[in-house]
C-alpha cells in the first residue's frame, strides 16, 4: 500500500500542470504560438497562413534541419526556440523568452503531422 502511494506520487511529479487541463502539448503549443506572436513573422498552418517575413512553417516534421544548421528533431527545435542565436549565429529569429515547456509544446505542435 505504501509502495502504491509512493509510485503514485512519483508519477505525479512527472506530470505538468499548466492550467490546460486536458489540452495536449500540441494544443498548448498552438496557444504559445499565438501568445508570442509567431505569426507576425511566420505562416503556420493551423494558426495563420499567408505571406510572412520568416520562413513558412508548414510540413515542419519533414525538414532535414532546424534553421539550416542542426538535424531536425523536436529536441533540436526546442533548443533553437529557447536560444536561436546559439544555434544559428546572426539569425533574425528573436529570443522571445519561451520557457522550456512552451518551447517543447511549440515543437510538438509543429511536429504534429
pLDDT along the chain (113 residues), means of 10: 39 41 85 95 89 89 97 98 98 96 97 86
Predicted local confidence at residue 44, as pLDDT: 94
Cα gap 32→95, rounded to integer Å: 14
Q: Which residue's C-alpha cell is 509567431?
A: 38
Q: For residue 42, report the phi and psi dihedrals to the nearest 5 degrees.
A: -120, 145
Predicted local confidence at residue 10, as pLDDT: 38
**Which option is the CATH number for 23-90+97-110: 1.10.357.10, 1.10.760.10, 3.10.580.10, 3.40.640.10?**
1.10.760.10
Query: Do residues 80 and 67 touch, judged by C-beta distance below 8 A?
Result: yes
Predicted local confidence at residue 24, as pLDDT: 84
CA angle, 90 then 94 then 95, to 5°: 110
Query: Do residues 88 and 67 touch, judged by C-beta distance below 8 A?
Result: yes
Cα gap 70→91, rounded to integer Å: 14
Query: Do residues 29 and 108 touch, judged by C-beta distance below 8 A?
Result: yes
pTM of this structure: 0.78
Q: Which residue's C-alpha cell is 529570443?
A: 95
Predicted local confidence at residue 22, as pLDDT: 63
Predicted local confidence at residue 2, as pLDDT: 44
Predicted local confidence at residue 48, as pLDDT: 86
Query: Do residues 67 and 81 touch, judged by C-beta distance below 8 A?
Result: no
Domain boundary assignment for the chain: 23-90+97-110
Query: Do residues 48 and 57 touch, judged by C-beta distance below 8 A?
Result: no
Amino acid at each position: 500500500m505504501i509502495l502504491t502511494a509512493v509510485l503514485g506520487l512519483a508519477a505525479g511529479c512527472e506530470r505538468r500542470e499548466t492550467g490546460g487541463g486536458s489540452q495536449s502539448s500540441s494544443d498548448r503549443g498552438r496557444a504559445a504560438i499565438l501568445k508570442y506572436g509567431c505569426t507576425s513573422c511566420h505562416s503556420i498552418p493551423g494558426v495563420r497562413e499567408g505571406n510572412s517575413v520568416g520562413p513558412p512553417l508548414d510540413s515542419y516534421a519533414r525538414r532535414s534541419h532546424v534553421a539550416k544548421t542542426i538535424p531536425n528533431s523536436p529536441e533540436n527545435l526546442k533548443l533553437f526556440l529557447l536560444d536561436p542565436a546559439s544555434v544559428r549565429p546572426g539569425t533574425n529569429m528573436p529570443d522571445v523568452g519561451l520557457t522550456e515547456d512552451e518551447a517543447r509544446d511549440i515543437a510538438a505542435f509543429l511536429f504534429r503531422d
